Amino acid sequence: MQEYDQLKDMVAAIEDDLTKAEGGNRAAGTRVRKAMQEIKQTAQTVRIKILESRSE
């Protein structure tokens, strides 16, 4: 599933910023929060597709 692969890539992409945010970098924290919102939306898309395939 393409969306799931995209989800994995998105999580991997924020790893550096997450480390910086834990160190106190506020800008990195903002980028992580923005990316997490996008991850949430992508995860919802995966969830919907799973439910659709289940009802077929």
pLDDT along the chain (56 residues), means of 10: 91 96 96 97 94 87
Output the pTM of the full model. 0.84
Residue written as tokens 């160190």?
A: 23
- Angle (CA) 34 18 37, round 5°: 20
Position 1 scores a pLDDT of 78
Position 52 scores a pLDDT of 93
Residue written as tokens 């924020």?
A: 14
Domain boundaries, the chain: 2-54
Position 34 scores a pLDDT of 97
Residue written as tokens 């991850």?
A: 39
- Angle (CA) 26 33 11, round 5°: 115
Position 56 scores a pLDDT of 76
